[in-house]
Amino acid sequence: MSARVGVITFPGTLDDRDTQRAVRLAGAEAVPLWHKDKDLKQVDAVVLPGGFSYGDYLRAGAISRFSPIMETVIEQAKAGLPVLGICNGFQVLTETHLLPGAMLQNNHLQFICREQKLRVENADTAWTVDYEQGQEIHVPLKNMDGRYVADERTLAELEAEGRVAFRYLDVNPNGSLNDIAGITNAAGNVVGLMPHPEHAVEPLIGAGGTDGLGFFTSILKKLVNA
Ligand SMILES: NC(=O)CC[C@H](N)C(=O)O
């Protein structure tokens, strides 16, 4: 079976091509999906890539969340479809409430672009099974609205249920509560994170190299073994 991973393009998406490439490098078929379509073309998983969809107007992700395709994504994610939101994609996922919490401007009010160290805190989601629990990885981080916040009860729940999937190491680059870089839903099929694993899939890029490839090999493993 060849796994088909859909990659959605919204107006203002930047990282769809890199994400498609990462999917192919992992050995799956990348299927481009357009925000205005409702049809997911029978993909086995979906990635919402990074960028500035709708120019980040109102709030990052707030408009894309109402794209026709998101109606289908929300419905199918609730039924178990694996969905990964990277950066702007994570912002869209919080706006849909498939993932709890919200992203605010970085606490220093500057755009940030850096090589970021992370710890994989949950290697049991659809997108992380190819990592070791506690593994440390380097992945590029580039955003303005990267400060993860949630109310105390939600944070306590995320921590208690092991749903903090990634934590920033060494430096908290944006003031995210509990150093949270990424989270998962309770079922483990919906994952969102601010750093960009699709930009760390080649040894050529130096630090981190292929550390991000595990997201895309994880989903392939998960689908092929399903
Ligand atoms: N790299 C990105 O996906 C950017 C995310 C988002 N628009 C921000 O700046 O916060």
Rounded mean pLDDT, 35-41: 96
87, pLDDT greater than 80: yes
CA torsion through residues 214, 34, 67, 41, sign? negative
Selecting among 87, 95, 121, 138, the annotated active-site residue is: 87
Cα 88 to middle of ligand 1, angstroms? 5
Residue 198 pLDDT level (bands cut at 50, 70, 90): very high
Q: Which atom of ligand 1 is nearest to the CA of 52?
A: 7
- 87 labelled catalytic: yes
Residue by residue, DSSP assigns 65-120 as GGSHHHHHHHHHHHTT--EEEETHHHHHHHHHTSS-SEEE--TT-S-EEEEEEEEE
- 198 labelled catalytic: yes
**Residues 43 and 31 sit within 8 Å (Cβ to Cβ):** yes
1, pLDDT greater than 60: no
212, pLDDT greater than 60: yes
Cα 104 to middle of ligand 1, angstroms? 11
207, pLDDT greater than 70: no
Rounded mean pLDDT, 51-66: 94
Q: Model ipTM? A: 0.94
Which range marks the domain in which residue 189 is found? Answer: 4-224
pLDDT in tens, 116-169: 999 999 999 999 999 999 999 999 999 999 999 999 999 999 999 999 999 999
pLDDT for res 117: 96
Q: Tokens at residue 135, please? A: 């593994």
Q: What mean pLDDT is reported for the chain?
A: 96
205, pLDDT greater than 90: no
29, pLDDT greater than 60: yes
217, pLDDT greater than 60: yes
Ligand 1 pocket test: which of 10, 19, 143 has the largest number of ligand atoms within 8 Å of its C-beta? 143
Task: State whether residue 219 is helix, strand or coil.
Answer: helix
2, pLDDT greater than 90: no
Rounded mean pLDDT, 31-54: 97
Q: How many CA atoms lie within 13 A of 194 on its CB side?
A: 35
Cα 36 to middle of ligand 1, angstroms? 21
195, pLDDT greater than 60: yes
pLDDT for res 209: 87
Q: What is the rounded CA–CA span in Å between residue 53 and residue 75? A: 21
Selecting among 35, 121, 138, 196, the annotated active-site residue is: 196
Cα 160 to middle of ligand 1, angstroms? 28
Q: Which residues contact 160 (CB under 8 A, 6 or more apart)?
A: none
Number of domains in the chain: 1
User: Which of 65, 213, 226 lies closest to 131, judged by CA?
Assistant: 213
CATH of residue 94's domain is 3.40.50.880
Q: Which atom of ligand 1 is nearest to the CA of 61?
A: 7
Task: State whether residue 30 is helix, strand or coil.
Answer: strand
CA-CA distances (angstroms) from residue 70 to 11, 20, 103?
A: 14, 19, 19
Rounded mean pLDDT, 70-81: 98
Ligand 1 pocket list (CB less than 6 A): 50-52, 56, 60, 87-88, 142-146
